[in-house]
Amino acid sequence: MNDETTRLVADLLALSEHDAPSGDPEASAGAVGWLEARLQQLDADVVRHETPAGVVLDGRFGPSGGRPALILCHYDTVWPTGTARERPARREGELIHGPGVFDMRAGIVAVLAAVELAAPLERPLRILLTPDEETGSRGSRDLITEAAQQAAFVLVTEPPLEGGALKTARKGWASYTLKVGGRAAHAGLEPEAGASAVDELVDRLLEVRRLARPATGTTINVGVIGGGSAANVVADSAWAHVDVRAQTVTEQERVHSALTGLRPERARTSISLETGVMRPPMERTPAIASAFARAREIAADLGIDLLEGTAGGASDGNLVAPLGVPVLDGLGPEGGGAHALDERVRIDSLLERRSLIAGLIASW
């Protein structure tokens, strides 16, 4: 293993020693400290943005003036406090195993190494490291979109598709809580005095299900439902969590309009809708297609046959693509097991992605 590989592996293992559960500033302090110190070692001007979800680190490199390159990374993981101690990251052969290494600690390490490889920088570069991507980026969304509006292009170091393909399109993601109110009554003595929120919810969910258009990429999942208080009581409340994925902005807006327009059909029942996460689709625009063509040329010079594809999940790339800025997503190293106990990343891909990202920074 050469010196560069040794350092990349050491950085990934060191970062992975720190927990960073989404939206928990106290538990994430160790990761923030490590990242801030590493940015400073690279001579970055580091700005700390305090948000309710935690610290957004804003590393700024290169000359001032001009539209910067922007790289979006998130340091939060889905794993709770204590996981890094219970299941420490480790090297086994040509793989690094551990919580968060694939999504997306390896992507962060590749970016930091790419900055060194691309130096000296001819254009300004910003790296945003955010604390809440896994839960929808509510705290960091405004900072992300503001930075993207100023950027010449945006790179996102989320994990790639299988085989290392970049993500040049992503489905939009919207989550909702559908709440129904009713009127309680004794189910045996006077059921007619009540109004079942559960029955109303079930009927409205049948209506919701008909909004799906799987053939065009619009899927709807009712993942969790609840309601009522006892089997012998007509339910006075019920609710459901609804997940919507759409390939296009038009489809996302169609479903959103239909959901906000739901009305109860039973007397003495009511409906309300709460919107949670709302990320627009990342559609494959001409600007994104052109960005991928550039990336493919750079990859070819490195001996890599780079491919592209569409992802069903959302990322922070979804937030910036509608702004018209060129976006390339899935630039993280290859591996597998995201959010799973067998999460892992390939060491050789860590090196390749470092070189690809450096090439994109230097040649745009």
Within 10 A of 41 (CB to CB), how many other CB atoms are there?
Answer: 10
As given in the structure block, the two tokens for residue 258 are 């239909």
Kindly state the helix (H) or strand (E) to which residue 310 belongs, with its residue range.
strand 308-311
SS (H, E, C) 73-138: EECCECCCCCHHHHCCCEEECCEEECCCHHHHHHHHHHHHHHHHHHCCCCCCEEEEEECCHHHCCC
| Closest residue by Cα to residue 323 from 145, 204, 193 | 145
Helices vs. strands in the chain: H and E counts, helices first: 10, 18
Angle between helix 106-118 and helix 3-15 axes, rounded to 10 deg = 140
Kindly state the helix (H) or strand (E) to which residue 60 belongs, with its residue range.
strand 54-61
Amino acid at 139: G
Question: Are 243 and 177 spatial neighbours (Cβ–Cβ below 8 Å)?
Answer: no
Which residues carry out catalysis?
133
As given in the structure block, the two tokens for residue 184 are 């309680």
Strand partners, 213: 218
Tokens 């204590």 -> residue: 82
| Closest residue by Cα to residue 58 from 130, 2, 145 | 130
| Closest residue by Cα to residue 308 from 330, 326, 283 | 330
Cα separation, 8 vs 351, whole angstroms: 8
